[in-house]
Amino acid sequence: MQATRFDTAHEDLIHDVAYNYYGKRLVTCSSDQRLKVWDFNESGNGVAQWELNDSWKAHDCSILKVIWANPEFGQVIASCSFDRQVKIWEEQEIEPKNSQKRWAEKFRLVESRGSVQDIEFAPGNGSLRLATCAADGIVRIYEALEPTNLTQWPQMEEFEISSNASSLNAHSASAGGGTGGSTMATSAFGSQAPSALAGGQGLAGGSAGASGGLQQAGPNQGRNSDAGGSYCLSWCPNRCPAPMMVVGLGRENGARIFKHDGQNRWYPGEYLPGHEKEVHDVCWAPSMGRSYQLIATACKDHFVRIFKLTEISATQSNPPQTPQSRNPSQSKLNLSPSASPNQSQVGKRFKVEVLATFDDHQAEVWRVEWNIEGTILASSGDDGTVRLWKAGFDGVWRQMSVISADGSNGGAHPSH
């Protein structure tokens, strides 16, 4: 294995790096509030190298994550930041490179009331949807109404991550009315004990919607502190009757699968157990036709975990697969609390088993990422290493190799 050093010249910590679909472009984001796009220039005397396409100040705070959209929508990236915004950028071919204008801001998603911690474009062709999760504990799903111009991103759906908020509070924002924060379920606010009056004041006006942060309750109640918890999400990249994603539960120490009910609601599904501290990152592996699903988590308790999800065949009785509803907006708000999420579900149900746990990082693990085929897992942690994990022919997951910050590649343990 060879490694090339890559000097980004960012002025503070780099928080995310991402290849585009073809693997020929890179984008990096950093606390220095800049995004940098790099092109792999293969032309010219055979020496291929990464060249800076542009670098620009994209946010007013640390940029936490940056992702590429599928190229069928053009050269589009989305970034999320501590400044509570998600921005959609599109490359402007007419602007010269390194002009700081090459990437134009097409839209901002401003509904989050906490730092936006994770974003991911939904898999699947045809529609450009983006899921975001923020420190306020809400997953929001947006869709570009016209992927060709990217100037309308109504919020289509949202749900609360916290389990005591339960699925009852998951509801959709009506189409077009996505801006200005839809009504928040008041009971979901704050934690366990809503302390009498102090909390009550703020909550009374809880559905005032657009007033945003001002509607918050007394000092401790329902404050959407950025310190409140770190959430993460990952869409299920594989074919499934209705969309699914795995979400890190923040302070609740764990991860859970959330499933779309085919209408406009998301309900909580299987819980991924065993985490003793916050889950920092989750990643759902592409299955490439395998009969089971793999999910990896990176946890503050120093562990990398790999979960195997096997479909419970009871789903035979499922009605014939309904075409994936791409247009949840037309359905009415469905808040009836009586509808148990377990009925009328079209999603799969899974048996969850822990395939592997690794504490080799001996430090907080921050990221896990599957390769395109879902066969190798990379994890990175505070110990300054990237570790690669692979299943051997015996099906046992082992460490394949270590990349450490000083450039030396630790002893690669050949998997069998």
Question: If binding is defined by CB under 8 A, does position 325 make contact with another protein?
Answer: no
From the number of C-beta atoms within 10 Å of its C-beta (0-12, 13-18, 19+), residue 319 rates as exposed
**What is the total count of residues that contact another protein (CB under 8 A)?**
94
What tokens were used for 382? 């505070």
Q: Closer to another protein by CB, 58 or 168: give it.
A: 58
Q: Of these, 43, 45, 291, 336, which contacts another protein (CB under 8 A)? A: 291
Residue list 77-96, contact with another protein (CB under 8 A): 82-83
Q: Does 404 bind another protein (CB under 8 A)?
A: yes
- Round to whole Å and give the CA distance between 267 and 244: 10
By the rule CB under 8 A, 406 interacts with another protein: yes
Evaluate the CA torsion angle 300, 247, 170, 177 in order and state its sign. Answer: positive
Minimum CB separation from another protein for residue 401, in Å?
Answer: 8
User: Nearer to another protein by C-beta: 225 or 340?
Assistant: 225
Single-letter residue type at 311: E
**Least gap, CB of 61 to another protein (angstroms):** 5
Rule CB under 8 A: is residue 23 a binding residue for another protein? yes
Query: Does 290 participate in binding another protein (rule CB under 8 A)?
Result: yes
Length of the chain: 416
d(CA 102, CA 88): 13
Nearest-Å Rg of the Cα atoms of the chain is 21
Contact between 311 and 334 under an 8 Å Cβ cutoff? The reply is no
Least CB distance to another protein at residue 22 (A): 6
Among 238, 263, 325, 357, binds another protein (CB under 8 A): 238
- Alpha-carbon distance 247 to 50, whole Å? 34
- Under the binding rule (CB under 8 A), the answer on residue 288 touching another protein is yes
Query: Which CB sits closer to another protein, 96 or 219?
Result: 219
Please list every residue from 165 through 194 that binds another protein, using CB under 8 A: 193
CA distance 83 to 330: 32
286 contributes a contact to another protein by CB under 8 A: yes
Residue 370 as a binder of another protein (CB under 8 A): the answer is yes
Binding segment for another protein (CB under 8 A), chosen from 169-177, 178-186, 210-218, 327-335, is 210-218
Q: Which residues pair with 27 in a beta bridge?
A: 18, 37
Report CA torsion sign: 110, 84, 173, 188. negative
Residue 11 binds another protein (CB under 8 A): yes
Tokens of 64: 């936490």
327 vs 334, which CB is nearer to another protein? 327
